[in-house]
Structure 1
Amino acid sequence: MKTLIPNVTTILFLWFLSLSISAQDFQGKAYYFSKTPMDLGSWGARMSEAQKKQIEARLKNRLEKTYILTFNKEESLYKEDEKLDAISGATDSWGKNFTPGELYKNIKSNEFAQNQEFYGKQFLIKESLSPLDWKMGTESKQIGQYTCFKATCKRPVTDTSWWNFSWGELSNNNAEKKVDTTESSDSTSTKLASTEEEVEMIEVEAWYTPMVPISQGPSDYWGLPGLILEVSVGNTTLLCSKIVLNPEEKNKIEAPDKGKLVTKKEYKAIITGKMQEMRDNRGRRSNRS
């Protein structure tokens, strides 16, 4: 049950209570479970419940995932804990092209690095760590044995899915490129400029615990006075299921360094262009047959 308590006093108390874990060799692991509800849209309305359950079972690898965050005082490495599909006994090769790769954050040097594989080709995305304008709340709740506090922020939708792709998004991009040729060039320029300025934002809700005073979190979330144990954005929730502090076997935290060096924006353009090419080639084959 969520309650309202004096935020600053409690956070400081828990922070100082946890200073004993801030040794130089401190390391920890947090295990996260991600779940996204299946959305079949209007297509799903015409399906029976049995058909929906069958599709959900086949898409389980994409809808439910587990991740491991290995962290110390300054760095973290976040990666998927891959599991075999219970039905086919294989990994989801198609879905792997559009899932986040191994992600490294260094909050001291403000470094972000993530490797991505797209149809067998390796890419390395390196940028400065994106700042998040968190709004601190006073609401609290328990996640396991940890007292957590709520924080929210807004960020561009593209920041939360730049490694992903959807056919609907491709159709929207193609539609935006079509400009009414009867309009004047000045009118067209104004319309394009206004379109570029519109950035779709999405609200992020996070729950962090000062009991683990590390400014890290799952995916590219960071910047709160405690480890982030839960993140909800859109219809996806990341929830921490287990924390191991100072494990006997330490893991080396290193930034990925292999692949073609690109930015997030460049990577998004590459995969979108490739999928457009695949659609065009498929259309040409259909026309010839």
Structure 2
Amino acid sequence: MNTLRKLSLLVFFVLTGHLNAQEFTGEATYKTHRKVNIKIDSSKSKISTDQQKQFNEQLKKQFQKTFMLSFSKEESLYKQEEALAKPNPMGNAAQIVFSSNTDVLYKNIKTQTYVEQTDILSKSFLIKDSIKDIAWQLENETKNIGNYTCFKATYTYQHPIRDFENDKDSLRFEARKITAWYTPQIPVSNGPELYQGLPGLILEINDGQQTIICSKIQINPKKTNKIEAPDTGKEVTQTEFDTIKDQKNKEFLERYGVKSKDGSNRIEINLGD
């Protein structure tokens, strides 16, 4: 094990031992950014070039979100901050809602379980499942995020991509590399979304398409959000929910003539006849 990795683990265990004797809570604010590349078939729509540009800019803004992670040594609650609805630059020509701001994710690091409340087309689901281990590789690289020294970790996984354009719904896999930056200065094995399992709080995540970065941290704030699992919605496992989501995505594409040419965010949207 190299020197930086040893130092990272040493700091984590020292701080963990110190904090075990006291209550420890915190709040971390994360901002998300996602690459978007949208192409609208102008030959089949009444959308002007300027409207297409406005549409692309609006989509980019839709993916710029702010989340709050409230955490203790063993539990966390990840929730999007409420925001005013953004205006639709294309009027009644098109309106696409990718996600709601009602999603709530509860994680219990001790029991390795999570509960997520989410909506699809105004129907609520309650996903209950086990947290999957992530085969992190601790790298010999550091950088500062704010006042925190962060260590790099990576892992590669096979991301499933379903081709909704074909009736047979073919499935292929694409290797994707996740890069995380964590700080042992905050000794909780947690992070945004379902990322966890490192010797310190994850302050930044990049999967090649989306970046999640921490912009503010408060340790032991006087007032914190209550950390408890959501309980509203139809209870399903993650596998069951993924199947439902795939079907809803397919129905959406068929209804609005949206064609995905590959597994990236490049999409053609046919508007009009």
Give the aligned partner of residue 257 of structure 1: 231
- Of 216, 234, 240, the match for 2:214: 240
Matched with 1:69 is 69
Partner Cα distance (2:173, 2:86) in 1: 40
Alpha-carbon separation, structure 2, partners of 1:135 and 1:65: 28
In the alignment, which residue of structure 1 is the partner of 2:84?
84
Structure 2 distance, partners of 1:272, 1:213, is: 37
Q: Which one has a bigger Cα radius of gyration?
A: 1
- Residue of structure 2 aligned with 1:146, choices 148, 166, 170: 148
> For structure 1, which runs of at least 5 residues remain unmatched after alignment?
162-167, 178-194, 284-288
**Gap change, CA 1:53 and 1:21, over 3 Å in 2:** farther
Is the CA contact 1:61–1:85 (under 8 Å) kept in the aligned structure 2?
Answer: no
TM value normalised by structure 2? 0.78
Equivalent residue, structure 2, for 1:26: 24
1:56-83 alpha-carbon deviations (Å, 9 max, x no partner)? 3322442211111110000111111131
The structure where strand makes up a greater share of residues is 2
> 1:50 Cα shift?
5.0
Aligned counterparts of 1:261 and 1:239: Cα–Cα separation in 2? 30
Would the aligned equivalents of 2:12 and 2:200 in 1 still touch at CA under 8 Å? no
Structure 1 partner of 2:203: 229
Alpha-carbon distance in structure 2 between the residues aligned to 1:67 and 1:237: 13
Map of 1:180 onto structure 2: none
Q: 1:23: Cα distance to partner?
A: 4.4
Q: Distance in 2 between matches of 1:118 and 1:6?
A: 44
Q: Who is 1:94 aligned against? A: 97
Query: TM-score, normalising length from structure 1?
Result: 0.74
Q: Distance in 2 between matches of 1:243 and 1:30?
A: 4
* CA distance in structure 1 between the partners assigned to 2:122 and 2:40 by the alignment: 34
For 1:16, what is the secondary structure of its paired residue?
Answer: helix
Q: 1:71 and 1:93 mapped to 2: Cα distance?
A: 33
Change (3 A) 1:31 1:49: farther
- Aligned partners of 2:30 and 2:67 also within 8 Å: yes
Unaligned ranges ≥5, structure 2: 89-94, 258-272
Q: Is the 8 A contact 2:76 2:227 kept in 1?
A: yes
More helix by share: 1
Shifted more, 76-85 versus 55-64: the winner is 55-64
* Superposition pairs of residues 101-120 of structure 1, within 5 angstroms: 101-120=103-122
Per-residue displacement from partner, 1:161-197 (whole Å, max 9, x unpaired)? 9xxxxxx84215x2446xxxxxxxxxxxxxxxxx7xx
CA contact (8 A) 2:153 2:180 kept: yes
What pairs up with 1:1-289 in 2 under 5 angstroms?
A: 6-13=4-11, 15-16=13-14, 19-40=17-38, 51=51, 53-87=53-87, 94-96=97-99, 101-158=103-160, 169-172=163-166, 174-176=167-169, 199-277=173-251
Whichever residue aligns with residue 96 of structure 1, its letter is S
Contact 1:68 1:80 in 2 (8 A): yes
Q: What CA deviation, in whole Å up to 9, does each residue of 1:96-126 have, x standing for no partner?
A: 25x8821111111111111111122111111
* Residue pair 2:179, 2:205 contacting (<8 A) in 1 also: yes
- 1:37 shift after superposition: 2.2
Cα RMSD between the aligned structures?
3.3
Q: What are the superposed Cα offsets for residues 18-58 of structure 1, whole Å, 9 maximum, x if unpaired? A: 754444421100101100122125869xx998555412332
